[in-house]
Amino acid sequence: MDAEEYSVMARVESDHWWYRGLRDRVVAELESRVSGDVTILDAGCGTGGTLVTLERRFPSARIIGIDASPLAVAYAREKVGGSIVYGSVNALPVSDSSIDAITSLDVIYHDGVDEKSALNEMVRVLKPDGIAVVNVPAYEWLRSRHDLAVHTAHRYTTGGFREKAKAAGFDILRCQYRNSLLFPLMLARRLMQRSNGRTKSNSAVNPPSLPINYLFGVVLALENRLTRFGVKFPAGGSVFSLLVKGAR
């Protein structure tokens, strides 16, 4: 990512509606599946926002953060203690079958990440029946100036991501679109950006106004609740997957 993106992320991720909504969804998935003295790895921890949430919600767990950016690691270490190390998701510096759960949120789509290696590495380090929560951006045709800023190499469909996860050795517990209720607004914004002909990179996670941040947060919280009741949306801005290490 552009260096400025890490600065923006570090500044806004604790309160921004998008990050809060994603972390709430992740925690809801993990809480029903892990507890006690487990080890949770945030593979591509960025500037530490997810680590803060994991430490707070799973106080008995050992939380590990890994990121390939020294700048991101420095920001993360300012926010949390514990084990935060420099390393790539392409070759995780973690022992085989040592992790109970992995979170990897908007990581493997980046330029410089080998998605096949990253998924294979997650399988390698997970314990038998260990789980991984993976979020990636949806649809190649949704590319925007934000993708330039964060160095996006791939965007996904649910079907395409399922195939990649299965090939790595995962069984699929859940793979569906998220950020769906706000998807029409996202699509409209992308179309407006294209119509003005600008190609300069530009972050999409700059702080919104307080009313917009609150309103979008409420909408995403509603979507998370509907998802827990089994509602599946046909489209969305992200692909959200819950994976389990399969038996080979």
* Predicted confidence (pLDDT) per residue in 5-28, tens digit: 888 889 999 999 999 999 999 999
Q: Model's pTM, two decimal places?
A: 0.93
Question: Per residue in 152-203, pLDDT tens?
Answer: 889 999 999 999 999 999 999 999 999 999 999 988 887 777 666 555 555 5
Read off the pLDDT of each residue in 45-52 and give the average, rounded to a whole number: 95
Read off the pLDDT of each residue in 240-246 and give the average, rounded to a whole number: 96
Q: How many CA atoms lie within 13 A of 68 on its CB side?
A: 16
Q: What residues make up the domain containing 124?
A: 3-245
- Residue 248 pLDDT: 62
Alpha-carbon span 68 to 11, nearest angstrom: 19
**Which uninterrupted H or E stretch holds 10?**
helix 3-12
Residue 87 binned pLDDT confidence (cut-offs 50, 70, 90): very high
- Residue 128 pLDDT: 95
Q: What is the mean pLDDT of the chain?
A: 91
Contact yes or no for 48/23 (Cβ under 8 A): no
- Check pLDDT > 70 for residue 52: yes
- Residue 151 pLDDT: 80
How many domains would you assign to the chain? 1
Alpha-carbon span 178 to 26, nearest angstrom: 12
- Residue 8 pLDDT: 85
- Check pLDDT > 80 for residue 150: no
DSSP states along 101-122:
EEEEES-TTBTT--HHHHHHHH
Q: Which CATH number belongs to the domain containing residue 162 in this structure?
A: 3.40.50.150
Contact yes or no for 163/136 (Cβ under 8 A): no
Question: Per residue in 125-149, pLDDT tens?
Answer: 999 999 999 999 999 888 877 778 7
